[in-house]
Amino acid sequence: MNGILLQLFQDTLVVLIAPLLLGWVNQCRAWLQNRSGPGVLRPYLNMVKLFHKDAVLAHNASPMFRFHPYILFACMWLAASLVPVIATDLPLSPAVDVIALVGIFALARVFVSLAAMDIGTSFGTLGARREMLVGFLAEPALLMVFFTAAAISHSTSLTTIVETLAHKQFIIHPSLAFAAVAFIMVLLAENARIPVDNPSTHLELTMIHEAMILEYSARHLALIEWASALKLLAFTTIGFALFMPWGIAEAGNWGALPLALAALFIKLTVAGAGLALLETISAKMRIFRVPEFMGTAFLLAVLGLLVHFLHGN
């Protein structure tokens, strides 16, 4: 019962704070670039605006195109609500382990790309192609990162991983270092961040994610924006769960919840700032450098796993 309550709480929580994180990152970036910035709440305002506009669909848009935003949103929401953000006893988490989580991201990605190809514009297909290009390398890398953690905790269920890493006696896992680097690279790529993608331009040479959603407007666009905010949140919280799981409340430990909540906000603030910093100091790379970038991430992750086995036996 409590579990279910907690689950519902987390669901609403993630949906609500996701745009905030996005706004915070953008704000930090603006500050780092000596701009005053749009303010932390800008994403909310954007969505409100979009929800008041009329939706425009291309003539040859198929049902696929119309349904995709909802599917995307649902997937990302599910993903974000599965990660143990503040507590580990989530009734849903047994249903979906880390592999399935990666599967959900993949599902979302495939739908994004398909929807992008639906109108049949040059930009749409271009975006879809690039998205899949990034994805087919990011996905295994992410999975390998998870495998490293799973190999440490002998489990692929995220909650168990968190419990092992957070609450067993503290050990330094060199493998996790590799995994962490790889994970950050994946995070940048998956969330269309510099150096892989630049969310703030519509420049043909560079854009990936934006190219795919060019044709969307109003409510659909709003949902997509929201979904990507959720995705960012999900990835950040996954990062916390794997590499700094401290403060997450154990099952049934209600007293720890406020503490965990506070911990979460602190972590998010730091992480957002860090992300912004990363984006500022690194430059956007050519699209054909991206495979090398992702390949490096993939190799690092595999290396992490190998290192673990090396020490494990």
Partner 1 sequence: MIFASTLLPIDVTFGVIVYWLLLGLAGLLLQNTRAITQYIFPAGALGALILAAAALGSLGGAVNVAVLPLGLPDLPFHLRLDALSAFFLLLLGAASIGISLYSAGYFRDMPGNTLGLLCFEYHVFLASMALVLMADDAYMFMVAWETMALSSYFLVTTDHKVPEIRQAGFIYLLVAHVGAIAILMCFGVMQGGHGDYTFATMRSAHLTEFWSSVTFLLALFGFGAKAGILPLHIWLPEAHPAAPSPVSALMSGIMLKTAIYGILRVSLDLLDAHIWWWGVLALTLGLITALFGVIFAAVQTDMKRLLAYSSIENIGIILVGIGLALTFHAFEKDALAALALTATLYHALNHAFMKGLLFIGTGSVLHATGERNLGKLGGLIHHMPKLALLMLVGALAIAGLPPLNGFVSEWLLLQAFLLSPGLPHSYLNMLIPVAAAALVLASALSGYVMVKFYGVIFLGQPREKTLHEAHDIGIFERLGLTWLALGCILLGVFPVFVILLIDPVTQMLLGQTLGSTAAQTGWLLLTPIQPERASYSPLILFLIIVVGVIFTIFLVKKFYHGRLRRGPAWDCGFPEQTARMQDTAEGFGQPIRQIFEPFLGVTRIVPSPFDKKPHYHGESRDRLWNLLYLPIARVTEKISVMVGKLQHGRIHVYLLYSFVTLLALLAFIR
Residues 27-86 that bind partner 1 (CB under 8 A): 51-52, 54-62, 64, 67, 70-71, 73-75, 77-78
Measure the CA–CA gap between 104 and 119, rounded to whole angstroms.
Answer: 24
CB of 221 to partner 1, least distance (A): 12
Q: Which stretch binds partner 1 (CB under 8 A): 37-45, 93-101, 239-247, 273-281?
A: 93-101
208 belongs to the binding site for partner 1 (CB under 8 A): no
Our CB check for partner 1 shows the closer of 43 and 140 to be 140
Measure the CA–CA gap between 263 and 80, rounded to whole angstroms.
Answer: 17
Positions 239 through 298 that interact with partner 1 (CB under 8 A): 288, 291, 298
CB of 52 to partner 1, least distance (A): 8
Structure tokens at 93: 């988490």
CB 250 within 8 A of CB 87: yes
**Which residues on adjacent β-strands are paired with residue 249?**
87
**Three-state secondary structure call for residue 291:** helix
Binding mask of the shown chain, residues 149 to 178, with x at each position contacting partner 1 by CB under 8 A:
-xx--xxxx--x------------------
User: Binding residue for partner 1 (CB under 8 A) from 45, 99, 277, 281?
Assistant: 99
Binding mask of the shown chain, residues 104 to 143, with x at each position contacting partner 1 by CB under 8 A:
x-xx-xx--xx--xxxxxxxxxx-xxx-xx-xxx-xx--x
CB of 37 to partner 1, least distance (A): 26
Measure the CA–CA gap between 108 and 231, rounded to whole angstroms.
Answer: 10
Measure the CA–CA gap between 43 and 230, rounded to whole angstroms.
Answer: 12
Measure the CA–CA gap between 227 and 263, rounded to whole angstroms.
Answer: 24
User: Binding residue for partner 1 (CB under 8 A) from 5, 16, 45, 95?
Assistant: 95
Distance of CA 95 to the CA centre of its chain: 20
3 belongs to the binding site for partner 1 (CB under 8 A): no
Measure the CA–CA gap between 240 and 210, rounded to whole angstroms.
Answer: 27
CB of 171 to partner 1, least distance (A): 17
Measure the CA–CA gap between 198 and 217, rounded to whole angstroms.
Answer: 20
Our CB check for partner 1 shows the closer of 24 and 178 to be 178
